[in-house]
Amino acid sequence: MEEEVHTGEINREAEVAPALIAVHPLERSIALALGYELRVFDFEMDCAVPLTDEAYSPCHSDAIRAICFGANGRLFVSAGDDKLVKIWRTDTWHCIRTVCSDKRVSAVAISHDGLFVTFADKFGVVWIERLEEDDQGQASVDKKAVPLLGHYCSIITCLKFSPDGKFIATADRDFKIRITIFPKGPLKGSHEIQNFCLGHTDFVSCLTFICPLDCHQSFLLSGSGDATVRLWDHVSGQLLDTCDVGEKAGLLDSKEKVEDSLAVTDINALPDGSFVAAAIQGLHGVMILKCDVPARRLFIAKFVFVEECFVPTSLGLSSSAKLLWVVMGASNVSKLGVSKMAQLRVLSDLDKFLSNEHGDYPVILKDKDMPGGEKLLLQFQGSDHVTKQDAALAATATAVKVAMQNLLTKKQYSLEKRDFRKRDRNDRKFKKQQF
């Protein structure tokens, strides 16, 4: 127990966590996770909402690594390094359930029927927990989830249900995407693998499903450390197209200094695939792709430059409002002596961009024109107007880079170091026993 606390503290000191953003599917609210803090802004009430969690304060005690809304927006889930999975009602922002995991949590998802929450741990095991119908705002007893499936010892970076609810897609740091049939009685585990989508040559960081209008099925998009976004027929496992964002990035260098890594860190897409936004590690803006499924094509439509030093860590798409929320942020920006920092931007007029209207679309909104305006920014970015300074932005950018690197790539230890780590761990165990 003592050791747990101890390592937890070390992590908070040394490990930076990238900021995450999620938009309510009906655009009622928006959530930002920054370090161990969860911040929510309600658009309908036009104010920040406090979260209530009777059992825990603060609600998370270590970096939050994954957040998401359920398909109908009734539930929200947050989880991370403190090994807690919290399920929230989005009407009251009350925590209705805390599920304890044995290991740190790297990804979460809620099934489309809202009946199950699934989460992946640091051992590559996906767990499932049933959400009872009678969760009427009362925090129920902590329960233990059951294993659903496993990627053998590879950290799962992303977990998504297919739009029809038939499949669960999991991506890992070993280049793999696994498509598993989600059974009717999932508490007995998902044992039937539909397919593996193999083709990426580096870690897979993000997944998103699309359902093009005139197609009878959905398709899967994935982003990876190999600087590509790929389009898959996940039912057959077939790779339909590969879009090399690195290639295009090379053409940007007049405006953009292209840095070493062009890892794709997040993707978001309109359900019909007409608009796919990608956050790319070395690029200071958002890459916009389009997907033409009948032609089996995925191609770059535009690069939207945001600002020097702005490296998005997470994207949140408002489908109906045609807005893209872009956040850059990290906890533990030690260079600035602050514990966390987030920067928010909004790209608007996606519809005008999609209909090829004349003009430079999408547009980056001014702070006051953002939904929620200054109030939201105060809640999400803090009052610190340091955040506006270039130096602050640069420091955040560095922190973000480290955060993403830690999150997505495996630690490479030299042989000596590996031995040293082993010894170190044993030493600690030994000392502990003596005390």
Give the dihedral sign, CA 74/376/23/85.
negative
How far is residue 353's CA from residue 349's CA, in Å, rounded to a whole number? 7
Q: Output the DSSP codes for 207-276.
A: EEEE--TT-SS-EEEEEETTSEEEEEETTTTEEEEEEEHHHHHHHTTTT----S---EEEEEE-TTSS-E
- The minimum distance between CB 171 and another protein, in angstroms, equals 14
Helix (H) or strand (E) holding 354: helix 350-354
- Closest approach, Cβ 107 to another protein, in A, equals 17
Least gap, CB of 167 to another protein (angstroms): 9
* CA separation for the pair 235, 195 (Å, rounded): 7
Non-local (6+) Cβ contacts of 163 within 8 A are 112, 209, 211, 218, 271
How many residues are given for the chain? 435
Q: Closest separation between CB of residue 282 and another protein, Å?
A: 24
Measured CA to CA, the distance from residue 270 to residue 27 in angstroms comes to 14
Residue 42 backbone phi and psi in degrees, to 5:
-100, 120
Residue placing its CB nearer to another protein in the complex, 78 or 170: 170
The distance of closest approach from Cβ of residue 225 to another protein in the complex, given in angstroms and rounded to an integer, is 14
- Least distance from C-beta 16 to another protein, angstroms? 23
> Nearest approach, Cβ of 153 to another protein (angstroms)?
5
Longest dimension (CA), the chain: 74
Between 199 and 282, name the residue whose CB sits nearer to another protein.
199
Nearer to another protein, 255 or 425 (CB): 425
Query: CA-to-CA distance for 174 and 410, rounded, in angstroms?
Result: 9
- 123 or 305: whose CB is closer to another protein? 123
- Per DSSP bridges, beta strands 338-348 and 363-364 are antiparallel
In whole angstroms, how close is the CB of 130 to another protein at the nearest point?
Answer: 19
Task: In angstroms, give the least distance from the CB of 416 to another protein.
Answer: 15
Measured between alpha carbons, how far is 312 from 266 in angstroms, rounded to an integer? 9
Six-digit token string for 38: 């969860």
**327, 387 in Cβ contact below 8 A?**
no
Rounded CA-CA distance 299/50 in Å is 41
**Least distance in angstroms from the C-beta of 181 to another protein:** 6
Q: Which is nearer to another protein, 149 or 158 (CB)?
A: 149
Our CB check for another protein shows the closer of 42 and 241 to be 241
Beta pairing, strands 143-144 & 94-100:
parallel
Minimum CB distance to another protein smaller for 201 or for 389: 201
Q: Which is nearer to another protein, 319 or 409 (CB)?
A: 409
Please give the residue ranges that form the binding site for another protein (CB under 8 A).
123, 125, 147, 149-150, 152-154, 166, 174-176, 178, 180-181, 183-184, 188-193, 195-196, 198-199, 201, 237, 410
Task: State the Cα angle at 153 between 147 and 155, rounded to 5°.
Answer: 85
Nearer to another protein among residue 155 and residue 262 (C-beta): 155
Give the E-state strand segments of 275-377 in sequence order: 276-280, 285-292, 297-305, 314-318, 323-333, 338-348, 363-364
Is 90 or 180 the residue whose CB approaches another protein more closely?
180
